[in-house]
Amino acid sequence: MKIFAIESSCDDTAAAVVEDGRRVHSSVVASQVFRHVEFGGVVPEIAGRMHCEAISDVASEALARAGMKISDIDAIAVTAYPGLIGSLLVGVSFAKGLSLTCGKPLVAVHHLRGHIAANYISHSGLEPPFLCLVVSGGHSHIVEVTDYTTMRIIGRTRDDAAGEAFDKTARTIGLPYPGGVHMDKLAENGNPDAFKFPVPKVNGSPYDFSFSGLKTAVINTIHNMQQKGIEVPREDMAASVRKSVVNILTERFLLAAKDTGQSRLVLAGGVSANSLLRRRMEELCRERGLELYYPELSLCGDNAAMIGAQGYYEYLSGNIADMSLNARAEANIEA
């Protein structure tokens, strides 16, 4: 079954053709980041307008690269939630129009379920059940995936998402938006033990995260040094922050794995591209005899191939949308 998928939840306009949830015939991503970088973050109004400008060309390009016509496609999948409402609406409206004019079924996909499904493309043998650490720019969850469309959140962030924690601390050391990837590169040449930051516990919820204390500690450390006229060693700061974020994530994720008895662990979302997170999880899983999966780098960030992969499984479970489908800024991954 061939699915034509569309993703426009934040600042990437993307389209893809994916067969049977696993085989990518084409995947096109048009990033807008060059327009948002001067503002230090995504400007929703600009994002929505740029999706409108790009979506037709991106969709045509995805079909052309797959060597297909819309008549070769069996269903249309689209990210309908969660995300920036003005961005989501562009993809959802486009997909509804396509579904109506071509008479193809429409499938609504939860963006974070899509991030998880990126792993089905990278690992053809991977099947639920597994425990997944979903870490993106807007969300951080530990999710028990019992089957392709049944999931339960067992841990979540109480404040910032992991990607936000990277982006906000990166900003304090003068790195451009989105800071996560720049911080990751800078950290490779730094001393991760140069600065000690707290690893907070969240009362009553052993699998929940909190990153706001780390952000405040980093800002205070930098201000203190600046007041004393001491230059901030950026590589050491980046390495120390990265180590703290990765420690917080891995500690909670492995505790959740132990307590739930899950031996198959999966990483997903933009932050799953982080080189220390991948390395550290490899080490910890090897020591404990756990299986570990993460997407290839090109599928960690936002893309439509992952939406096509999850769209296939949503379709198989009968989750077919109709013309009343609307975009939503918030949505629970479980529902």
Residues that bind ligand KG4 (CB under 6 A): 10, 115, 136-138, 163, 166-167, 178-181, 184, 269-271, 273-274, 301-302
**Nearest approach, Cβ of 81 to ligand KG4 (angstroms)?**
12
**Nearest approach, Cβ of 114 to ligand KG4 (angstroms)?**
9
What is the sign of the dihedral through the CA atoms of 87, 92, 94 and 95?
positive
**Nearest approach, Cβ of 142 to ligand KG4 (angstroms)?**
16
Of the two residues 301 and 308, which places its CB atom closer to ligand KG4 in the complex?
301
Nearest in space to 54 (alpha carbons), one of 110, 25, 94: 94
Q: What does the block give as tokens for 216?
A: 């405040």
Partner that binds at residue 167, options ligand KG4, Zn ion, none, CB closer than 5 to 8 Å by kind: ligand KG4
Of the two residues 181 and 266, which places its CB atom closer to ligand KG4 in the complex?
181
What is the sign of the dihedral through the CA atoms of 142, 148, 152 and 157?
positive
**Euclidean distance between CA atoms 265 and 277, whole angstroms:** 13
Using Cβ positions, the residue closest to ligand KG4 within the complex turns out to be 270
Residue 34 CA, chain-centre distance (Å), reads 19
Query: Are the beta carbons of 301 and 270 closer than 8 angstroms?
Result: yes
**Euclidean distance between CA atoms 134 and 126, whole angstroms:** 16
Query: Are the beta carbons of 253 and 243 closer than 8 angstroms?
Result: no
- Residue 136 interacts with Zn ion (CB under 5 A): yes or no: yes
DSSP state of 273: G
Partner that binds at residue 181, options Zn ion, ligand KG4, none, CB closer than 5 to 8 Å by kind: ligand KG4
Of the two residues 10 and 28, which places its CB atom closer to ligand KG4 in the complex?
10
The helix/strand/coil state of 253 is helix
Provide the mask over 255-294, with x wherever binding to Zn ion is found by CB under 5 A and - wherever it is not.
----------------------------------------
**Nearest approach, Cβ of 288 to ligand KG4 (angstroms)?**
24
Q: Which residues contact 20 (CB under 8 A, 6 or more apart)?
A: 1, 312
Strand order in the sheet with 150-156: 150-156, 140-147, 130-135, 264-268, 291-293
Of the two residues 14 and 214, which places its CB atom closer to Zn ion in the complex?
14
Query: Are the beta carbons of 118 and 268 closer than 8 angstroms?
Result: yes
Of the two residues 33 and 320, which places its CB atom closer to ligand KG4 in the complex?
33
**Nearest approach, Cβ of 269 to ligand KG4 (angstroms)?**
4
> Based on the number of CB atoms within 10 Å of its own CB, is 231 exposed (0-12), middle (13-18) or buried (19 or more)?
exposed
- Residue 167 interacts with Zn ion (CB under 5 A): yes or no: no
Partner that binds at residue 94, options Zn ion, ligand KG4, none, CB closer than 5 to 8 Å by kind: none
**Nearest approach, Cβ of 21 to Zn ion (angstroms)?**
18
**Nearest approach, Cβ of 193 to ligand KG4 (angstroms)?**
19
- Residue 87 interacts with Zn ion (CB under 5 A): yes or no: no
Query: Which residues in this chain contact Zn ion in the complex, by CB under 5 A?
Result: 136, 302
